[in-house]
Structure 1
Amino acid sequence: MKNKHFFIIGGGDLQADLVISAKKDFITHVFDYNESCSCKNLADYFHPISIADKEKILQLAIKFNIAGIATAATELGNLTACYIGEKLNLGTNSYECAKNTTDKSLMKKVFKKNNINHAKYFILKDEKDLEQITQFPIIIKPSDRSAGRGVVKVFDKENLKKRFYEAKDLSYNKIVLAEEVLKGKQFSVETISSHGKHQIVAITEEYLREGEFADDFLETQHLIPARVTNCEKKFIENEIMHILDAFKVKFGASHIE
């Protein structure tokens, strides 16, 4: 008989498989502010609480003496899961790790501190910060959003202010990044980590469209395994291990581009 409780942060379609899997061994609790979310009736318990309300969910986690907590396909949910997991020693990554891998402005600081190569960038908080940008094209993106929200390639000064405010409106922390456009091949690397030990699962060669908006320059196709020399493969593997350690990733899957 199941007698241990498990929290799932987020109740949308992308969390459904996680709920179904967890139900095999646990009493499941789903958290989502949307009372009509698709996982409401999948879980044993549903809580109409925002996934960003860390303290309220933490109190319930203590009340139910949960055995674990997880989320899927939501960076905001991962912040809450790691915050609670760290507080209750549930084998998650730290809250610091979740913040640094979610907020691109913090991510850049980790890159710099650990001598990890990265695109040149500007932090944009106010309109006056746009004066730093003199070369185009440039990528504008909200600091703490995912899935390409607000990401756009700007080709001239005339559109810069408009795209800055659009990205700022989407950002939770109201910080926008302007990044140089890098040319060359793009690869993604899938990894699995457990207790700070990392395993590379696959190196993927990616093909991109060219355009202005995020949807215009997303991947069109993938090639696995990537066509790389042994020297290139070793270089990629070393960089990936360095990145995972720099961000103090201890558990779970990572997708690094």
Structure 2
Amino acid sequence: MKKKLAIIGASYLQLPLVERAKKTGIETHCFAWSEGAICKEIADFFYPISILEKDDILQKCIDIKIDGITTIATDMAVPTICYVAEKMNLVSNSFISSLASTNKNEMRNAFKNGNCSIPKFIEANNNEVNIKDFKFPLIVKPVDRSGSRGVTKVLFENQLPEAINYAISESFCKKAIVEEYIDGVEVSVETISYKGEHTILAITDKVTTGPPHFVELAHHQPSSLSNEIQEKIESETIKCLNALNINFGAGHSEFKITSTGEVYVIEVGARMGGDFIGSHLVELSTGYDFLEGVINIALGNYEKPILKNNNFSGVYFLCKETEEILPYFSQINTFDIQKEIQNTTLKNSTNSNDRSGYLIYQDIKKINLL
């Protein structure tokens, strides 16, 4: 009998997961809003239920008798997944841990308790916050959003109220977090965990627009940082996962590294990275099928990852800031894996939705297009 997998979310982000599960003969059950749910035509079953409606999804999953529940590349679905899995005694992180991993203020409190390296921070639900002991510049962001939504770098105190209001306007719970800005290079780390045993899969170098919004323009694997710095990042990653009690499934951790080699955690998600990092780049650079690993853990199966390849992989995003890469979309390149122009109008990026296309590559060396 086919295993039944509930997948929370049905946008283009979850499409690789649905396709991978179906390829292995798993019966897929997708839950999401109908609008933008491109997976509804591909999944075996689709239910037009908001991913935030935990109890409605739980009841349907009980009726279906699912064998596992998961998602990729979205934080919003994580509490629902953990809630349903906990109620049905399926494999997942705890519901309590999901609340910390999807709220930046709760996350930083957990990091603080776990002795992780974090910048000074304070939560804000209005534009009056006590930043007396803070050093500028600051970074302001919603506590519960991703994709660079609502993020602003603040250089002077008189800019802070507008930045807080902007972050709050993008927040589901209408709260923001204000923290000291860490100047340095930015990386992310992909991990997979089972029963608290963590495996580092890849460290990804990130290219962004920089201030004020820090929208991702490119990602590259493996990281070009020194072995010493990478070891620091890996050690800090394990501490952060443990601090958040992320014991099962994928993890996506983001760090800043200063010019003096200090490593600061920015945030950690209990899911694989978006922007094709988890769904494509990890397997292209390491040979490990991250999607299959996530599916197997959700279904209660686990095999320790074997990282067998040593390739370079990456993704470039098309927007006004990267219009110089446009010719690579109209020609055949030896490093092409997948590319698409989704909108011929190139905009300056204030969040990831402003990007107009992508190009995924694999090669024996890093491909520098910018």
Q: Which TM-score applies when normalising by structure 1?
A: 0.89
Shift of 1:211: 2.2
Match of 2:238 among 232, 237, 241: 241
Residue in 2 that maps onto 1:82: 82
Pair 1:226 & 2:219 matched: no
Residue in 1 that maps onto 2:173: 173
Shift of 1:188: 2.6
CA distance in 1: counterparts of 2:98 and 2:4, whole angstroms: 23
Distance 1:205 1:127, change over 3 A: closer
Distance 1:247 1:134, change over 3 A: closer
Name the Cα RMSD after superposition. 2.2
Code of the residue aligned with 1:111 in structure 2: it is F
CA distance in 1: counterparts of 2:219 and 2:64, whole angstroms: 45
Distance 1:26 1:103, change over 3 A: same
Shift of 1:221: 5.2
CA distance in 1: counterparts of 2:120 and 2:225, whole angstroms: 27
Code of the residue aligned with 2:226 in structure 1: it is V
Code of the residue aligned with 2:17 in structure 1: it is L
Unpaired runs of at least 5, structure 2: 255-370
Identity %: 38
Deviates more, 1:175-184 or 1:22-31: 22-31
CA contact (8 A) 1:35 1:48 kept: no
CA distance in 2: counterparts of 1:192 and 1:78, whole angstroms: 15
CA distance in 2: counterparts of 1:142 and 1:191, whole angstroms: 25
Kindly provide the CA deviation profile for residues 52-101 of structure 1, in whole angstroms up to 9, marking residues without a partner as x. 00000001111111111111221111221121112212111112222211
Higher share of residues assigned helix: 1
Code of the residue aligned with 2:155 in structure 1: it is F
CA contact (8 A) 2:204 2:219 kept: no
Kindly provide the CA deviation profile for residues 158-209 of structure 1, in whole angstroms up to 9, marking residues without a partner as x. 3321221111111112211111111233333222211211111223444554
CA distance in 1: counterparts of 2:11 and 2:170, whole angstroms: 20
Code of the residue aligned with 1:222 in structure 2: it is H
Code of the residue aligned with 1:195 in structure 2: it is K
CA contact (8 A) 1:122 1:132 kept: no
Distance 1:32 1:245, change over 3 A: same
CA distance in 2: counterparts of 1:10 and 1:64, whole angstroms: 17
Unpaired runs of at least 5, structure 1: none
CA contact (8 A) 1:124 1:176 kept: yes
Residue in 2 that maps onto 1:188: 188
CA distance in 2: counterparts of 1:19 and 1:236, whole angstroms: 31
Aligned length: 253
Code of the residue aligned with 1:187 in structure 2: it is V
CA contact (8 A) 1:209 1:220 kept: no
CA distance in 1: counterparts of 2:232 and 2:192, whole angstroms: 18
